[in-house]
């Protein structure tokens, strides 16, 4: 079986481009945590984005395994990607809750100073 290396590299790069916003949020949340000393909203944002990032990378690797190396049948690949999507949704919920808590804190602080 001939493996198309340029196509694999393109798929990996597309996965990394898709992950750039997540990496950006990971860096921002680490910065926030370093300045604010372990706030729950920062921890939730960080954990949520790390989960999302790992799902992006694992999903891309599995796609390459499925499409180029044909390791699994379509139904097995579908089950695996469904599980990864569920884990990614958990990460997104953690991120959203962290953002909500941060917004609530900012609004509360803003209303106390006004």
Among 57-61, 65-69, 95-99, the minimum mean pLDDT is found in 65-69
Per-residue pLDDT at 48 exceeds 80 = yes
What is the model's pLDDT at position 16?
83
Per-residue pLDDT at 1 exceeds 80 = no
What is the model's pLDDT at position 109?
83
Query: Could you tell me the pTM of the whole model?
Result: 0.83
Look at phi and psi of residue 57 and say left if phi exceeds 0, alpha if psi is from -120 to 50, else beta. alpha
Full residue range of the structural domain in which residue 77 is found: 5-113
Q: How many domains does the chain have?
A: 1
Eight-class DSSP state of 39:
-
Tokens 């690949």 locate to 77
């Amino acid at each position: 079986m001939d493996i198309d290396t340029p196509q694999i590299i393109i798929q990996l790069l597309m996965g990394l481009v898709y992950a750039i916003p997540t990496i950006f949020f990971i860096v921002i949340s680490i910065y926030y945590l370093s300045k604010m000393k372990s706030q729950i909203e920062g921890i939730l944002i960080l954990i949520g984005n790390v989960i999302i990032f790992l799902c992006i990378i694992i999903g891309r690797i599995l796609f390459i395994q499925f499409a180029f190396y044909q390791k699994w049948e379509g139904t097995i690949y579908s089950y695996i990607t469904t599980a990864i999507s569920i884990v990614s949704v958990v990460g997104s919920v953690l991120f959203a809750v962290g953002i909500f808590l941060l917004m609530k804190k900012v609004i509360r602080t803003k209303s106390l100073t006004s």
